[in-house]
Structure 1
Amino acid sequence: MRSDFYKTAPLRGGLMYLLLLLWLVPSAAQTPRTYITVLVAPDHADWTYKTGEKASFTITVLKDGNALKNCKADVQVGPEKVDATYSKKLDLPDGKITVDGGTMKVPGFLRCIATTTVDGKQYRGLATVGFNPYEIKPTTDMPADFNAFWDKAKSDLAKIPLDTKLTLIPERCTEKVNTYQFSVQNFRYGARLYGMICIPKKPGKYPAELIVPGAGIRPLNGYVTAAEKGIITVEMAIHGIPVTMDPGVYVNLSDGALNNYFFNNLDNKDQYYYKRVYMGCVRAVDLIHSLPEFDGQNIAVFGGSQGGALSVVTAALDSRVKYLVCLFPALSDLTGYLHNRAGGWPHMFNKDNAAFNNTPARIETSKYYDVVNFAKLLKVPGMYSWGFNDETCPPTTMFSVYNSVTAAKELFLARDTGHFGYPEQWELLNNWMYDKLLSNQIKK
């Protein structure tokens, strides 16, 4: 099912959900309005075309809501994230112009970027259109031993005791909810998984939501609002460090020891950084099942960007997860750049990184961690959402994931968004998850 319209529903996250939106990745927050606005709009309202069909883009430069006369714009058109096929500086005597964007002969996305300079400051706008997007196929393939590789990892993890440690955080508790920092043993002895857990105080059995993180290193606060509605929330981090330290610690780690962690040990599939991360997601499900307050059945996983990738991975690896919500997933169709089209974040094979990463060993490792290959294994319902203008997680790569899913799925498109979500978008996703978890809980 495809949901291409906005719905409203109770926003569950409050301030904490706004914080999630801001830290998915550095570019995840919605760009604020600027003094000069560059609007780029395609001639199809649904931003979608058939292969071979021509697309045109109307570029409008606005100041105080009116067209800015006698300005200029640098215009580039081409497949997203690769070199433009059209590049020209155009005069806009009336502040507006329409350009022929051409077409695409194969399924994919075409992007028009317009940049203008006013009083020495640059302003930029873009629009990205899809050509038969539901026919996009991934460029990566699944290794023959993919399932065996991850089955072995889960078997190794299962031998490690959970060793749960909960520390009450009184200042983050409410009348209805207890909030704890948790840590459990993670993949390989000695490693710990940290996060925040919020548990309703009222005696009973509750469904659970696992919140998986966007890229970066940061403290966590816990999701109290959802817990007050009767959902255990487990918000996990991935780096094996406590989540209640001074924020400056995380900044130092981000700029230092954990800088570019997503490339660490990429030449070895057994040692790559995300192996412990993916196993940490399974370990978080172990934690949920160990809680006496858990209802024993209903778990949803929710995440965006890196977290969108982890939501798919977790649901694919662990059959105890019953539902997933995935926003603009990263780590998707990573080898796209090797086939002259966009690849997924962290863009390990683009022109900036290929000189180091484009080796047979690193390409092979990427296949074991590519979200496309986990999407093929999904068996549970999922809600997915993104926009066409995302420059962090290109839509070509996200459709490579979505088109690989054979399980029940819904897609909510907010086409003009980049790597952020509208309030209506978050509300719809929250409402979908609430309906799955709480309606099933009521039936018990």
Structure 2
Amino acid sequence: MPYADLPLDQLRGHLSESVEPADFDAFWAGTLSEARAHGEPPAFTRVDSGLSLIETYDVRFPGFKGQPIAGWLHLPAGTTQPLPCVVQYIGYGGGRGLAHENTLWAAAGFATLVMDTRGQGSHVSVGVTPDPEGSGPAYAGVMTRGIGDPHTYYYRRLVTDAVRAVDAARAHPLVDPARIAVAGASQGGGLTIAAAALAGDVAAALPDVPFLCDFPRATWIVDKAPYDEIVHYGATHRDQAGTIARTLSYVDGVHFAARATAPALFSVALMDPTCPPSTVYAAYNAWAGSKQVREYRFNGHEGGGAFHTSEQLSWLSERLCRG
């Protein structure tokens, strides 16, 4: 696909026009306070993944409104001391997968908590967590579920789940709560940014070609899924443009990034038609903590692939495994 975004000199300095809601902090503080009021401890049940060098546990923890969320916890076999942990979020349409999947970080010596994605898990990988909340009219997919109000919007629930996944990881005795990293690509990258802002004292963040960033630009220039779900909905509900923009502003990664202080390693693909580089740079440029970005000039939404994974392994090991 040819390069179709801003000229490079503008791209690297791009700032979003997303308007931050005046009650953004209060909205999320109230949402998380309500979720954490459901104090049930997470449950970890040993399962046989078929992998002899990795121990895997089925995880159940309370998410939004205490609703049960599934996950996997992977540990290097024979772990006896608390380890740094990567909390991993999955891309759009995917779930936690099967017990033997998503074990790279555990193979590298980290604990790994892989969060299932409520109401998804039927496209990229298997999921088991339902989304019990009701919704008004919505376009196919999850992007417009409950979009008429930020309190009913789907991503309010999913972001809350992402934060509670960090809480769940911290509760396990073989996880060092001071060395938690958050990571994910696409939708998982957007959740990574949100969790880094909201979960408190996250040690590192790895947002990979992140989705859910700079909605005003993304919904204007992207003509494919998942952003186009919002466009199709808006084309029919012509009188709701302001309502849509207001709801999306509460989950825009740009505003979360402005509150994220952990060291971050971003990736951006300059020919990405799904999460255009300008939307990624909008979040990167807003990031409040120390940050680095790796550009992949000729790549689309696959980003840096295995090349970037190698970068992440080296970068994260340096920050969480020294000494």
TM-score interval, normalised by the smaller of the two chains: 0.7 to 0.9
Give the alignment partner of residue 216 of structure 1, picking from 93, 105, 111: 93
Aligned counterpart, 2:83: 206
Q: Deviations over 1:371-404 (max 9, x none)?
A: 1111111111100011110000011211111111
Picking from 145, 151, 156, the partner of 2:34 is 156
2:183 corresponds to 1:327 = no
**Cα displacement (A) at 1:347:** 2.1
Root-mean-square deviation (CA, aligned residues, Å) is 2.9
The match for 2:19 among 121, 137, 141 is 141
Letter in 2 for 1:404: A
Aligned to 2:133: none
Counterpart of 1:214, as a letter, is G
After TM superposition, give the deviation of residue 259 of structure 1 in Å.
Answer: 4.4
Q: Is 1:132 aligned with 2:10?
A: yes
Contact 1:333 1:344 in 2 (8 A): no
* Rg (Cα) greater in structure: 1
- In the alignment, residue 224 of structure 1 is paired with which amino acid? T
Verify the 8 A CA contact 1:164 1:183 in the aligned structure 2. yes
The 5 A counterparts of 1:60-75 are: none
Q: Residue type matched to 1:354 in 2?
A: G
2:282 counterpart of 1:386 = no
Alignment match, 1:360: 242
Question: Which of 141, 146, 149 matches 1:268?
Answer: 149
Alpha-carbon distance, 1:344 to partner: 10
For the Cα contact (< 8 Å) 2:116–2:127, is it kept in 1?
no
Whether 2:192 is the aligned partner of 1:192: answer no
Matches within 5 A, 1:35-434: 80=4, 109-110=5-6, 129-175=7-53, 177-189=54-66, 191-200=67-76, 201-218=78-95, 219-221=97-99, 222-239=101-118, 259-336=140-217, 341=221, 346-347=226-227, 352-356=232-236, 358-420=240-302, 421-434=304-317
Task: Give TM-score scaled by structure 1 length.
Answer: 0.63
What is the SS of the residue equivalent to 1:303?
strand
**Structure 1 regions of 5+ residues with no counterpart?**
1-38, 43-79, 81-108, 111-128, 251-256
Greater share of residues in helix: 2
State the shift of 1:211 in Å: 0.6
Q: How does 1:19-38 map to 2 (within 5 A)?
A: none
Change in 2 beyond 3 A, CA 1:337/1:384: closer
Write the distance in 2 (CA, Å) between the matches of 1:144 and 1:308: 25
Structure 2's unaligned 5+ residue stretches are 130-137
Identity %: 26
**1:284-304 C-alpha deviation (Å, 9 max, x unpaired):** 111111111122310111111
Shift of 1:346: 3.2
**For each residue in 1:306-342, what CA deviation from the matched residue of structure 2 results, as whole angstroms up to 9, or x when unmatched?**
011011100001123110011111111111267x655
